[in-house]
A and B are shown apart, each in its own frame.
Chain A
Amino acid sequence: MKFLYAAYAATWLIHGSYILYLFSRFRRLREEERELDQSSAK
């Protein structure tokens, strides 16, 4: 059973890491957009 649990956990770890990576990329993009808007407004 430990191999089965390890395989399922590894699958979710890989997908979860990728989802977190996408979230961080979106957050960085929003920050850059905000910075650009602020510098354009000056």
Chain B
Amino acid sequence: MRLNLLIFSFVTVLLLGYGFCQAMYIAPTEQTMGDVQRIFYYHLPSAWICFAMFMVNFFASIWYLIRRTAGADALAQSAAEVGVVFCSVVLVSGPLWAKPIWGIWWTWDVRLTSTLVLWLIYVSYLILRRYSPDGTVEAAVLAIFGFLDVPLVYMAIRWFRTQHPQPVIGGGRGSGLDHHMWIAVLWNLAAFLALGILLIWQRYRLAMQEKKLEAAHAEKAISMEARPAR
């Protein structure tokens, strides 16, 4: 277990290092935006990993409502937490790109607003989990309905006229990326996917160990009560 973790962490660091080199030095400079466009190599993979984490949370929540297993509950919580981390990266890196390109940090268009709402939904979920330990069923229901925002965020730039750039995949004529830029995107996607898996793996392990400790505490309290008084 420990060796697997060490090997996986090492591979993740290597991927992140190479992804950084691809994004900063190897990918060609975009003609109109210049170097600021390189933010995209962190922004896009973070958004995709965030969607993937919320999808894991969605399926784990459904599984928890059907089976009520501790594992499904721990997985749902871990995925939501890691998803919020990646969503935070998206919400911070986006305005840092927007300011030099649009001249403004933020605009209330559908893509940006629905992403902020998505972040707020999952932060609410985590607050509910934190302050209402018995509210696991309510949290699972919130997670299932909260996930409805993910397709809205993804499709917002296709369904509505937004200030956010058009999609790079299936965005119609004039959209898409240069081959070399795609390579940088894919390396960073692999790197952030590995980081996401590492984080969710460790968060899940922590949640399961905490549940075990809680059970041990409860067992000890029962055995103390059952002990005859002298």
Residues of A within 8 A of B (CB): 1, 3-4, 6-8, 10-11, 14-15, 18-19, 22, 25-26, 29, 32-33, 36, 39-40
Q: Looking at chain B, what size class is its interface with the partner chain?
A: 20 to 34
A11 contacts which of B92, B100, B202, B213 (Cβ < 8 Å)? B92
CA A19 to CA B109, docked complex, whole Å: 32
Could you say which residues of chain A place their CB within 8 Å of the CB of B22?
Answer: none
| In the complex, per-residue mask of B193-230: 1 if CB is within 8 Å of any chain A CB, else 0 | 00100010011001001100100110010000000000
Knowing that A4-B35, A15-B195 touch, tell me 11 more A-B residue pairs with CB under 8 angstroms. A3-B36, A3-B99, A4-B38, A7-B93, A8-B39, A10-B89, A11-B42, A14-B89, A14-B92, A15-B85, A15-B89
**Which residues of the partner chain B approach A3 to less than 8 Å between Cβ atoms?**
36, 39, 96-97, 99-100
Contact B35 A18 (CB under 8 A): no
Given the contacts A7-B39, A10-B93, A15-B89, A29 and B209 also touching, CB distance less than 8 Å: yes
Q: Mark B6-40, 1 if CB is under 8 A from A, else 0.
A: 00000000000000100010000000000110110
Does B77 count as interface, using CB distance less than 8 angstroms? no
Which A residue sits closest to B212, measured CB to CB?
Answer: A33
- Taken together as a complex, chains A and B put the C-alpha atoms of A14 and B84 apart, in Å, by 10
